[in-house]
Every structure is written in structure tokens, then in C-alpha cells.
Amino acid sequence: MNPLKTYWYCILFMVFMVSCSSDDGPIDVITPDPIVGTWQLTQLNISPPQDINGDGNTTSNILSDLACVSGTLTFSADKTWDLSFNGVNVTPITGGLFNITCANFASSGSGIWQLQNNQLTLFQGTTSIFYMLNGTTLTNSVGEDLPGFRSEVYEKQ
């Protein structure tokens, strides 16, 4: 074999080996934070169930009977959050019954957030609010009976 040809084969082989090196390191892929975006309130659950709209049927989810109730949580990449909430008034009647009506005001809140494993913590001043992230669902299980709330659920939009 021609020595010059052998030399060029060796050079090509070395160039090929260097260019195909496996030590290039991983390619950085930026994955968006699963929390960042807008989340809508889909459930505001109570216990015990109540006949909120007087149709003879009880419900645990206030949103199924009161269209005026709504909530939007917005999470930004800079780790801040904002809440806009049109809530309810809960007034005890008697015997475990409650009058649940639309609130005449909207409330809001803001602060910073932290996601660790699947637990989301919202910080607002000295107050911390905890949610569990499950795919595109955020759940805050307060666990209280009326006049408190059992849970609230937000879905990512």
C-alpha cells in the first residue's frame, strides 16, 4: 500500500475519532417549570354537602351551584405569584345548614413561590399556603368543615 495513502487514512481516521468523541458532555435542555403559567379554580369543596341553590340537591363543590365563584392563580418564572379570587360568604343557619352566597367583593394576593418535589408553597408575608402538584392539578387540602373549606383545586390552563 502506498505510504502516502496510508498516512491520509490515518489522518482521516484520527479526525473521525476526534469528531465523534463521546466526551462532549450533555446538551443543556431548558425545561419549563411545571408551575409557571395560569391556573383556574375548578373546585371549591365543602363538608358537609349543602343545597346551595335551593334545588333540592346537595353538593360538595360550591362551583357547581354558584357561577360567580372563580379564582385565577398566575405563577411567573421569577418565582412570584398573583391570585385573583371572587369568593363566597358562608353564614351558619341551624342544624348544620349554611347559607352560601356570592361575595360582593373580589380579593387578591401575591407573593413568592417554591416548588420542592411535588409540594408547592406560596409565601405571602408571614403566611405559607401549601398545595400538592399532580400533573396539571394543584390541590390545597385545608380539611376543615363548614364554615371553612375542605379543599380547593386549580387546573393549569
Answer whether residue 42 shows pLDDT above 70.
yes
What pLDDT is recorded for position 105? 86
Query: Residue 14 pairs with which residues in a beta bridge?
Result: none
Residue 119 cell numbers, joined: 409540594
State the pLDDT confidence band at 131, using cuts at 50, 70 and 90.
very high
What are 98's three cell numbers? 349554611
Q: In the predicted model, what is the mean pLDDT of the chain? A: 86
Where do the domains of the chain lie? 37-156
pTM of the model: 0.78
Name the nearest CA neighbour of 136 among 120, 113, 156, 154: 156
pLDDT at 65: 95
Which amino acid does the sequence have at 83?
L
* pLDDT the model gives residue 33: 87
Nearest to 35 by CA among 128, 118, 98: 118
CATH code linked to domain 37-156: 2.40.128.300
The predicted model gives 94-100 an average pLDDT of 92
pLDDT number for residue 29: 53
